[in-house]
């Protein structure tokens, strides 16, 4: 492989050969020595442009002056100059070509330095972004750990207190009190399971290890499973389910969609009063199966509408269940629905409360058939 020096020498020789040949043509056409000098000047500039370093431009300048002096000044065929005007013209040409060649090389160096500075600035900017991202990630991790610690402590304290009371009051509590304490323990345990499930799902999503096992599932089944799971937390709230008579099949990972519905229902429970109403419905629209969870609670504040599906975004509801949640539920919902190729939307109802809707691709009837 040829070195840069050899390549530049070949380019220099090529330019000199071309300019010398054209100068002979200019002379035969009697275009004037001034035009021939301009031709050589262009050759010097071209040499400086396609090479790197002072030496190539200087060589081009010296050769051009010597060739011009030898071929086009009196006495021709000699390097001796007898005419004073020819001497001044040749001297000015040599000075001009050397100056332009020098300026061109300096310009190349300045451009190279500017590119290096620009590259350095980009690298510094990228490094600053990486540092900022690392700091934000560390802050998010600290926030997550604090939130998890707080949210785990509350139900665990309740479980420990209720179980301790049952143990210490063995034989003294009536059956109704024992049943109530056991119910409280069960509710707290279920919430802990959901919290851990959300954390595990988010870990899988962020690591890219979330694997969906999509198959034909009936919307009625996943809705039933989700409602059954949250019934113990409804208390005085009511939940109504609305689904069409025809069986709606969709391509989904049933377990994941149940988790989405649980998160949305749990979100509605947190943001409605105990006498509040929650509605869950499903319907088919063209080749999409839609699910919707709506409530008449506090709704979504305007400043949160564009951020509700981001991680660790929480806002303060009126329900006494507030505080349960670390802001992962809706982020997980969005990630799961997006992985299914669907879309989830969060908005406020016109008459108050919030509404979350999402769709999944419907299955073809000839593929899934009808269920009796």
Task: Give dist(CA 258, CA 361) in Å, integer.
Answer: 16
Question: Residue 188: phi, psi to the nearest 5?
Answer: -65, -40
Of the pLDDT bands very low, low, confident and very high (cuts 50, 70, 90), residue 311 is low
- pLDDT(328) > 80: no
SS3 356: strand
pLDDT reported for residue 226:
92
- Identify the weakest region by mean pLDDT among 14-23, 193-202, 348-357: 193-202
Q: Residue with structure tokens 């509350």?
A: 154
- Write down the H helix ranges in the chain: 4-28, 33-50, 54-72, 84-168, 175-207, 219-234, 254-270, 329-339, 365-368
Task: Give dist(CA 150, CA 71) in Å, integer.
Answer: 94
**Average pLDDT of span 282-302:** 92
Q: What is the pLDDT of residues 40-91, one digit of tens each?
A: 777 777 777 777 766 777 777 777 777 777 777 767 777 676 666 666 666 6
pLDDT reported for residue 366:
40
**Average pLDDT of span 332-340:** 89
pLDDT reported for residue 325:
47
Task: Give dist(CA 291, CA 219) in Å, integer.
Answer: 8
- pLDDT(248) > 90: yes
Task: Give the rounded percent of residues in the chain with a pLDDT score beyond 90.
Answer: 19
Task: Give the bridge partners for 99, in sequence order.
Answer: none
- pLDDT(326) > 70: no
pLDDT reported for residue 94:
67
- Identify the weakest region by mean pLDDT among 120-124, 166-170, 352-356, 363-367: 363-367
Q: Which residues contact 197 (CB under 8 A, 6 or more apart)?
A: 259
Q: What is the pLDDT of residues 145-186, one digit of tens each?
A: 666 676 677 778 888 888 888 888 767 778 788 888 888 888
CB contact at 8 A, 236 and 319: no
């Amino acid at each position: 492989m040829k070195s840069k020096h050899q390549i530049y020498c070949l380019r220099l020789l090529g330019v000199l050969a071309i300019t010398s040949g054209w100068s002979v043509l200019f002379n035969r056409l009697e275009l004037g020595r001034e035009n021939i000098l301009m031709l050589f000047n262009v050759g010097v500039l071209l040499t400086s442009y396609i090479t790197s370093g002072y030496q190539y431009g200087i060589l081009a300048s010296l050769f051009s002056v010597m060739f011009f002096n030898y071929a086009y000044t009196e006495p021709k065929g000699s390097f001796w100059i007898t005419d004073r005007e020819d001497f001044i013209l040749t001297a000015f040409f040599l000075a001009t070509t050397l100056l332009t060649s020098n300026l061109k090389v300096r310009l190349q160096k300045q451009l190279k330095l500017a590119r290096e500075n620009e590259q350095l600035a980009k690298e510094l900017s990228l490094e600053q972004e990486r540092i900022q991202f690392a700091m934000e990630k560390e802050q998010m991790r600290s926030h997550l750990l604090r939130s998890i610690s707080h949210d785990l402590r509350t139900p665990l304290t309740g479980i420990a207190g209720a179980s301790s009371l049952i143990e210490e009051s063995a034989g003294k509590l009536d059956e109704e009190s024992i049943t109530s304490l056991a119910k409280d323990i069960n509710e707290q345990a279920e919430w802990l399971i959901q919290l851990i499930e959300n954390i595990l799902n988010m870990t899988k999503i962020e690591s890219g290890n979330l694997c969906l096992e999509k198959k034909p599932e009936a919307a009625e089944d996943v809705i039933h499973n989700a409602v059954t799971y949250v019934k113990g937390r409804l208390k005085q709230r009511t939940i109504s389910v609305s689904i069409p008579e025809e069986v709606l099949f969709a391509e989904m990972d049933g377990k994941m969609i149940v988790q989405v519905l649980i998160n949305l229902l749990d979100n509605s429970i947190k943001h409605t009063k105990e006498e509040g109403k929650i509605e869950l419905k499903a319907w088919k629209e063209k080749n999409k199966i839609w699910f919707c969870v709506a409530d008449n609670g506090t709704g979504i504040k305007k400043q949160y509408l564009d951020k509700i599906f981001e991680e660790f975004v929480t806002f303060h509801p009126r329900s006494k269940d507030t505080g349960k949640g670390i802001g992962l539920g809706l982020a997980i919902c969005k990630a799961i629905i997006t992985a299914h190729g669907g879309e989830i939307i969060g908005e406020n109802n016109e008459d108050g409360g919030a509404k979350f809707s999402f769709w999944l691709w419907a299955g073809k009837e000839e593929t899934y058939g009808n269920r009796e």
